[in-house]
Amino acid sequence: MHHPAVPGPVVKAPGGFRVPAHSVTTRNLGAAYPLVAEAGHGHRGVLVGHDLLGGSFVFDPFELYRDGVVSNPNMIVFGQIGRGKSALLKTYLWRQSVFGRRAWVVDPKGEYSRLAELWGVAPVALRPGGSVRLNPLDPVRTASQPEAGGVSEDPARRQGELLASLASACLGRPLAPRERAAVELALGAVRANARVPTVPGVAAALLDPSDDEAARIKTDRASLLEDGRDVALELRRLVHGDLRGMFDGETTPGLDLSGPLVVLDLSALYSSAALGVLMACATAWLQAAVSRSSGQAFLVVDEAWAILANLGVARWLQASWKLSRAHGVANVAALHRLSDLTAVGAAGSEQVGLAEGLLSDSETLVIYAQPPGEVAKAADLLSLSSTEVELVPQLRRGVALWKVGRRSFLVRHVVGSEERALVDTDAAMVTW
Ligand SMILES: Nc1ncnc2c1ncn2[C@@H]1O[C@H](COP(=O)(O)OP(=O)(O)OP(=O)(O)O)[C@@H](O)[C@H]1O
Ligand SMILES: [Mg+2]
């Protein structure tokens, strides 16, 4: 019989899809892999590919959330380089477009341009000194619930948290309480004066506090200035350093966000040390923009490991995942290794908490092949069965273990012939 990780011959199915032929019954496979032998979870949603235990696999996080199968629509896709994470995301978004769902993509490698072209939109390319500027402090629309998952949705607080995490990413350490207070006061001063706060505005306010602000925390102006100086200098890196011209002012007017797809192409800085901060700024801006739009949407952060490499920014990302649920947004992150979740910063309970938090906020996990050691380490965290631990390292390109709520599926992602151009990131074509 065929091992499910090594699917049988491929046959041409209607609609141009090439699907693996089955030479064993579901029942047989079920006996061989009891813990992944589940009947499909319904037929509403977009076709992903083949459930290797039989039938097709469809998936729609919004439907599953509505039906109570998952308690959030967020998803994380794990997989070694070249396993098919981005291919899945691109075709999935494309197939979702039929249902009128919108998508917002943080694209660090500049590989979503074909998708954008098909969808009739131009990617927004960010580069130092380029023509597009995004303000990560753009206000988030407040959802009807003031609290989502225990996270405050007060726009000022969100902006304060983002600024603090960006500053701590640049400083390479968490902010001290007096630094946080200085940030909050500076942000308050800017908000009182300007229409929309900006990073240079806050940096300038940090370097020029008023007596009134100082009095509010029972200190004097000189001490408050001293408290905020390091943060101000680090925030200035966003204004003058690698990321200059990208996040250091109000958002470029006239950016068309009305299309069904918005792609932020960050490839100009893909190999920069500032990639994590860049992605955090881009994601912050997208989240604010998504919150002001209507309808269900996907917010995809490809190569999200770059954000998670920094604990402060990662924590902010996790908090904002909770909020977007209130806005009808399904967050999707792609990571290389299971340990991307646990290996951020120094070891300790904080990292474990972060990983657990992100996982509990992502009830759909798509796990492509991982080295055996990785899988074994993450087994508890991801509630993988011993069968699954054995199976994951053997999965071929395009085949993944899907954990949807409490259920597991083994799915071969099917790429239609007309979708090839969308997903091809290899120089050498492979025969499937
Ligand atoms: N299900 C599939 N069917 C056919 N081809 C696929 C499938 N999945 C991936 N590929 C091909 O494999 C190559 C690598 O896929 P992809 O770019 O999605 O990998 P990735 O996991 O995102 O890698 P990276 O970590 O480098 O970003 C692409 O050229 C794509 O065409
Ligand atoms: Mg990829």
- pLDDT, tens digit, 9 for 90 and up, residues 342-364: 665 455 556 667 777 788 889 99
Closest approach atom of ligand 1 to CA 80: 25
* Pocket of ligand 1 contains residue 417 by CB under 6 Å: no
User: How far is the C-alpha of 92 from the C-alpha of 57, rounded, in Å?
Assistant: 12
Per-residue b or e along 241-271, where b marks 16 or more CB atoms closer than 10 Å to that residue's CB: bebebbbbbbbeeeeeeeebbbbbbbbbbee
8 Å CB contact between 136 and 162: yes
Q: What is the pLDDT of residues 412-421, one digit of tens each?
A: 999 998 899 8
DSSP summary character for residue 35: G
- Minimum mean pLDDT range among 69-78, 292-301, 336-345: 336-345
Q: How far is the CA of 343 from the centre of ligand 2 (A)?
A: 20
User: How far is the C-alpha of 49 from the C-alpha of 17, rounded, in Å?
Assistant: 9
**Structure confidence at residue 241 as a pLDDT band (50, 70, 90):** confident
* Pocket of ligand 1 contains residue 367 by CB under 6 Å: no
**Which residues, 6+ apart, have CB-to-CB distance to 237 below 8 Å?**
170, 243
Mean pLDDT, the chain, whole residue set? 82
* Pocket of ligand 1 contains residue 90 by CB under 6 Å: no
* Pocket of ligand 1 contains residue 209 by CB under 6 Å: no
**Structure confidence at residue 81 as a pLDDT band (50, 70, 90):** very high
Dihedrals φ, ψ of 22, to 5°? Answer: -100, 130
Dihedrals φ, ψ of 72, to 5°? Answer: -155, 155
* Pocket of ligand 1 contains residue 369 by CB under 6 Å: no
**Which residues, 6+ apart, have CB-to-CB distance to 331 below 8 Å?**
73, 74, 75, 298, 299, 300, 301, 321, 324, 361, 362
8 Å CB contact between 28 and 4: no
Q: Which listed ligand is nearest to 414 at the C-alpha?
A: 1
Q: What is the pLDDT of residues 305-339, one digit of tens each?
A: 888 777 777 777 777 787 767 778 999 999 988 77
Per-residue b or e along 407-422, where b marks 16 or more CB atoms closer than 10 Å to that residue's CB: ebbbbbbbbbeebeeb
* Pocket of ligand 1 contains residue 413 by CB under 6 Å: yes
In 10 A of CB 282, how many CB atoms? Answer: 25
Q: What is the pLDDT of residues 276-297, one digit of tens each?
A: 888 888 888 888 888 888 888 9
Does residue 53 carry a pLDDT above 80? Answer: yes
What pLDDT was estimated at residue 79?
93
- 131, with CB counted inside 10 A (0-12, 13-18, 19+), is exposed
* Pocket of ligand 1 contains residue 81 by CB under 6 Å: yes
Please indicate whether residue 14 or residue 86 has the higher confidence score (pLDDT). Answer: 86
Q: How far is the CA of 169 from the centre of ligand 1 (A)?
A: 31
Helix axes 155-171, 199-206, angle to 10 degrees: 80
* Pocket of ligand 1 contains residue 99 by CB under 6 Å: no
* Pocket of ligand 1 contains residue 208 by CB under 6 Å: no
Residue nearest to atom 3 of ligand 1 (CA): 415
Residue nearest to atom 2 of ligand 1 (CA): 398
* Pocket of ligand 1 contains residue 5 by CB under 6 Å: no
Bridge partners for 335 per DSSP: 78
- Minimum mean pLDDT range among 78-82, 255-259, 306-310: 306-310
Q: Compute the C-alpha angle 76/78/80, nearest 5°.
A: 160
Dihedrals φ, ψ of 230, to 5°? Answer: -60, -40
Domains of the chain: 1-40 (no CATH), 61-134+259-400 (3.40.50.300), 147-240 (no CATH)
Bridge partners for 59 per DSSP: 46
Q: How far is the CA of 159 from the centre of ligand 2 (A)?
A: 30
Mutate to test the pocket of ligand 1, among 113, 367, 423 (most ligand atoms within 8 A of CB): 423
What's the whole-number mean pLDDT along residues 60-78? 91
What's the whole-number mean pLDDT along residues 142-146? 53
> Is beta strand 364-367 parallel, antiparallel or unpaired with respect to 399-404?
antiparallel
Residue nearest to atom 4 of ligand 1 (CA): 415
What pLDDT was estimated at residue 351?
63
Q: How far is the CA of 292 from the centre of ligand 1 (A)?
A: 33
Does residue 15 carry a pLDDT above 80? Answer: no
| The length of the chain, given as a count of residues | 432
**Structure confidence at residue 44 as a pLDDT band (50, 70, 90):** confident
Mutate to test the pocket of ligand 1, among 48, 80, 86, 94 (most ligand atoms within 8 A of CB): 86
Please indicate whether residue 60 or residue 144 has the higher confidence score (pLDDT). Answer: 60
* Pocket of ligand 1 contains residue 79 by CB under 6 Å: yes
Closest approach atom of ligand 1 to CA 111: 17
